[in-house]
Amino acid sequence: MKMAAQAAGLFATYDIPDFFCELLNRGDIPPPDLKLVRDRLAHFDLAELRRRAAAVEAQFYRLGITFTVYSDREAIDRVLPFDVIPRVLTALEWDHVERGVQQRVRAINLFLHDIYHDRHILNDGVVPRDLVLGNANYCQAMVGLDVPGGVYVHINGTDLVRDRDGRFLVLEDNARTPSGVSYVLEDRQMMLRLMPDLARGLNIRPVDEYGPRLHRALAEVAPIGVDNPQVVLLSPGIYNAAYFEHVFLAREMGIPLVEGRDLMVEDGRVYMRTVAGPRPVHSIYRRLNDDFLDPQVFNPDSMLGVPGLVDAYRRGNVTLANAIGTGVADDKAVYAYMPRIIRYYLDEEPILTNVETHICAEREGLDYTLANIERLVVKPVGESGGYGLLIGPHATQSELDEFRALLRANPANYISQPVINLSVSPTLCPTGVEARHVDLRPFAVTGRDTWVLPGGLSRVALRKGSLVVNSSQGGGSKDTWVLAS
């Protein structure tokens, strides 16, 4: 890191290990606006930054921006830490991400239509038939059903990371009910209130269009022939982990937040219970998993859903966003095929590449994984996702041997990837401003076309060296600035 001594200031002791840092170790000549942010930050006094961080904390605490722990009702109001140093993306970087996300969403929607209709991609042997049709998230109720506009994934979150060279890589797709967008909007408000001097005069792409855009998209995909569609947000209720976000989005869209018990189905049509009696509902932004939607079709014990909802949906009287059965598309095993899926439907090269992934179901992938296991992350796919994962560089010899045996016994259950040196971003820590790993989740909204919210959720692993950005494991968030020029 080379920086004029007088400009170092806040970053004087900033120690960047061998990672890409968007602010201080980019490997290019940064555009003027980014340089300006860096210089302004450098002149901040650490104590002043801490004072502002404390003010942010108090604000968020009082607002009750929270995530809930189901088992502990008293712990209902916990605060997701917010870092006062923004993460900045250049216009060039964003253009790339935006086009890549749009391309991916297009391919995912075509893929979902295909696997629930003619299954060309399976018949052509591009994606293994069992992987899709045998997938736990494949939904029989969707077979042959035409959804408005062919849109299955109306709201998509693409988890991106950057490697040592600053290249954006897709870590995973979230095509079911991705969450976190409320933090993007709240973080921005907070940031502009607390750091006006940092943002002054900069041309930062706004984020407050999200609500109206989402509402418009949901209205666009309402059943055909409905003039003034009633859109609602279906939430599991006040004890759900993401209830704050449900409230936030309902407000941003100006629509009612309903629970399952607020809805009823009569003659294949959906109504909400109001003080004036039942009123028709046409488009449902549901934040309820497939399994809980309709006890008549899925989990019969679910008390959160609406009996008869799937029937109304199949009759085309109501639109669900996202559609049912989209979980096949964000499955870890299907992920590995995503570059091929993009090429198959769009006849284009993927703009955003996957993390290099070896599919152990294939001979080549299995051989490579077995030979290089000590340098790889080996992940089980399908239902067991997230559990029983092996991080080669951190594993003991016996763990490696054990995984080799597992791989040989059931290769189709695994994929492997190299360990990525995630990019870092300067972050206010107890010991000063330090480098912490970040990821990025841009949100794409699809109605008639696909719009990507400029920026997205930047999560930061607050523990030194940690690569885990999840809020349940010491993760925080940062405001993400997309520079307009």
Q: Which residue has the tokens 């003034």?
A: 228
What amino acid is encoded at 34 in this protein? Answer: L
Based on the shown chain and the rule CB under 8 A, indicate whether residue 201 belongs to the binding site for other proteins.
Answer: no
User: Which structure tokens are listed for 26?
Assistant: 């980019």
* Binding positions for other proteins, 431-460, rule CB under 8 A: none
Taking CB under 8 A as the criterion, the residue among 54, 75, 303, 371 binding other proteins is 303
- Give whichever of 260 and 350 is closer to other proteins, judged by the CB atom: 260
Cβ–Cβ < 8 Å for 433, 85: yes
| Region at 225 (left for phi over 0; alpha for psi -120 to 50; beta for the rest) | left
Taking CB under 8 A as the criterion, the residue among 100, 157, 211, 260 binding other proteins is 260
| Binding region for other proteins (CB under 8 A) out of 33-41, 244-252, 312-320, 438-446 | 244-252
| Binding region for other proteins (CB under 8 A) out of 173-181, 213-221, 252-260, 390-398 | 252-260
Based on the shown chain and the rule CB under 8 A, indicate whether residue 5 belongs to the binding site for other proteins.
Answer: no
In total, the chain counts a number of residues equal to 485
- Give whichever of 36 and 272 is closer to other proteins, judged by the CB atom: 272
The CB-of-237 to other proteins minimum distance in angstroms stands at 5
User: Which structure tokens are listed for 300?
Assistant: 């019969």
Based on the shown chain and the rule CB under 8 A, indicate whether residue 257 belongs to the binding site for other proteins.
Answer: yes
Taking CB under 8 A as the criterion, the residue among 39, 118, 208, 266 binding other proteins is 266
What amino acid is encoded at 390 in this protein? Answer: L
* Binding positions for other proteins, 211-230, rule CB under 8 A: 228, 230
Based on the shown chain and the rule CB under 8 A, indicate whether residue 268 belongs to the binding site for other proteins.
Answer: no
E-strand spans in 276-423? 277-280, 283-286, 319-321, 353-354, 358-359, 376-380, 390-391, 414-418
The 3-state DSSP class for residue 248 equals: helix
ω into 410 cis (within 30 of 0): no
- Give whichever of 303 and 405 is closer to other proteins, judged by the CB atom: 303
Contacts of 318 (CB under 8 A, 6+ apart): 223, 269, 270, 281, 282, 283, 284, 309, 312
Q: Which residue has the tokens 């418009």?
A: 216
The CB-of-141 to other proteins minimum distance in angstroms stands at 20
- Give whichever of 294 and 439 is closer to other proteins, judged by the CB atom: 294
- Dist CA 376 CA 418 (whole Å): 5
| Binding region for other proteins (CB under 8 A) out of 114-122, 235-243, 406-414, 446-454 | 235-243
Cβ–Cβ < 8 Å for 224, 162: no
- Give whichever of 12 and 63 is closer to other proteins, judged by the CB atom: 63
- Dist CA 16 CA 1 (whole Å): 8
- Give whichever of 269 and 379 is closer to other proteins, judged by the CB atom: 269
The CB-of-74 to other proteins minimum distance in angstroms stands at 9
The CB-of-256 to other proteins minimum distance in angstroms stands at 5
| Binding region for other proteins (CB under 8 A) out of 133-141, 203-211, 271-279, 377-385 | 271-279
| Binding region for other proteins (CB under 8 A) out of 212-220, 249-257, 315-323, 475-483 | 249-257
The CB-of-290 to other proteins minimum distance in angstroms stands at 18
Q: Which residue has the tokens 């930061």?
A: 460
The CB-of-276 to other proteins minimum distance in angstroms stands at 4
| Binding region for other proteins (CB under 8 A) out of 11-19, 36-44, 86-94, 231-239 | 231-239
The CB-of-167 to other proteins minimum distance in angstroms stands at 40
| Binding region for other proteins (CB under 8 A) out of 110-118, 209-217, 264-272, 320-328 | 264-272
- Dist CA 280 CA 271 (whole Å): 4
Based on the shown chain and the rule CB under 8 A, indicate whether residue 149 belongs to the binding site for other proteins.
Answer: no
E-strand spans in 90-200? 155-162, 168-174
Q: Which phi and psi (to 5°) does residue 21 adopt?
A: -125, 125
ω into 322 cis (within 30 of 0): yes
User: Which structure tokens are listed for 191?
Assistant: 């940031």
- How many other C-beta atoms lie within 10 A of the C-beta of residue 85? 24
What amino acid is encoded at 129 in this protein? Answer: R
- Dist CA 87 CA 480 (whole Å): 5
| Binding region for other proteins (CB under 8 A) out of 5-13, 80-88, 243-251, 387-395 | 243-251
* Binding positions for other proteins, 27-66, rule CB under 8 A: 62-64
Give kind and range of the element (H or E) at residue 272.
Answer: strand 269-274
CA nearest to 186, candidates 160, 207, 200:
207
The CB-of-398 to other proteins minimum distance in angstroms stands at 44
Q: Which residue has the tokens 């699809």?
A: 446
Residues binding other proteins: what is the number (CB under 8 A)?
A: 38
* Binding positions for other proteins, 272-291, rule CB under 8 A: 272-280
| Gyration radius of the chain's alpha carbons | 23
* Binding positions for other proteins, 60-119, rule CB under 8 A: 62-64, 77
Q: Which residues sit at the interface with other proteins, rule CB under 8 A?
A: 62-64, 77, 228, 230, 237-239, 243-244, 247, 250-251, 256-262, 264, 266-267, 271-280, 303-304, 306-307
